[in-house]
Amino acid sequence: MNQALQIRSALASEQLPVPCQAWFQTLITQQPPQQRTLPALVAAAKARLLASDLTASGLFDTTSPPPVFPREVVSSSPASVQETCLAHDVVAQVVDLENVSQSRWQQVQALEAIERGEQKRGREIIRVLAGGDAGNDGEAGDETDTGNGNADGRPVARASATGGTSDANATHRLVLQDAAGQTLFALELTRIYRIGIGRLRIGEKLLLKKGTVVARGTLLLEPASVRFLGGQVEPLNKAWVEGRLARLRSEAQAAGQRE
């Protein structure tokens, strides 16, 4: 088996979408000869894929694209489908995120803390590197803290970036995009601690499992229905932070003037 096929098999085993053959060949040729061992190539492929926009031209083979959202739930009137379930796993990327349980000013403060490179862990303010302190699989480095997780490895609830109160009861709404460019709203049906401003990055890849409920055009997320694959698309994340911060400030100021 050649290296491209071996890398392809390794990505598929981790339930990642598999790019086209040309993508693998380019990846291999761009690596220095001393780094063309299979483990190094698999790691490089995974990192590059998780940092890629799923909708990028030429990423996937047009004859065998990855599974996407069912057409009936992303149609012009998705609310007409009262309830259905995903018939297969779908890998999607985060393109928008909002904590709907916070006020506009609280959201502004959270994003400003991220912009400054500050986030809170308990009562301690920590600094993160520009672009996020990457942990395993491209996930945000502030997600876990050795010795402070639950027995199943899930991180415990932490203080938010805005003032030391736990986000255990927060509710987040996401916009997720599949490889075909289709988007769906997603809402936490049950609190998922991995979802949060500063923890979940724009462009991060999520595996939405077969059987995930879609009610009136909205994916209902529970811990068992989603797997976080990691990653971040830096241009998308930067544009989102800057654009959302400006919108939130404007909305918060307008609300304050009305009061």
Is pLDDT of 201 > 60? yes
119 pLDDT tier (thresholds 50, 70, 90): low
Question: How much is the mean pLDDT over the chain?
Answer: 81
Encode pLDDT of 184-198 as tens digits: 999 999 999 999 888
| Predicted local distance difference test score (pLDDT) of residue 107 | 76
Encode pLDDT of 60-111 as tens digits: 998 889 999 998 888 767 667 788 999 999 999 999 998 888 777 787 787 7
Sketch the domain layout of the chain as residue ranges. 3-50, 71-258
Average of pLDDT values for 20-44? Answer: 93
Is pLDDT of 151 > 70? no
Average of pLDDT values for 107-120? Answer: 72
Whether the CB-CB separation of 40 and 31 falls below 8 Å is answered with: yes
242 pLDDT tier (thresholds 50, 70, 90): confident
| Predicted local distance difference test score (pLDDT) of residue 258 | 64
Record the pTM. 0.76
| Predicted local distance difference test score (pLDDT) of residue 78 | 65
Q: Output the CATH code of domain 71-258.
A: 2.40.50.770
148 pLDDT tier (thresholds 50, 70, 90): very low
Average of pLDDT values for 112-116? Answer: 75
- Among 139-148, 173-182, 238-247, which is the least confidently predicted range? 139-148
Is pLDDT of 52 > 50? yes
Is pLDDT of 139 > 60? no
| Predicted local distance difference test score (pLDDT) of residue 27 | 94
- Among 41-45, 121-125, 192-196, 241-245, which is the least confidently predicted range? 121-125
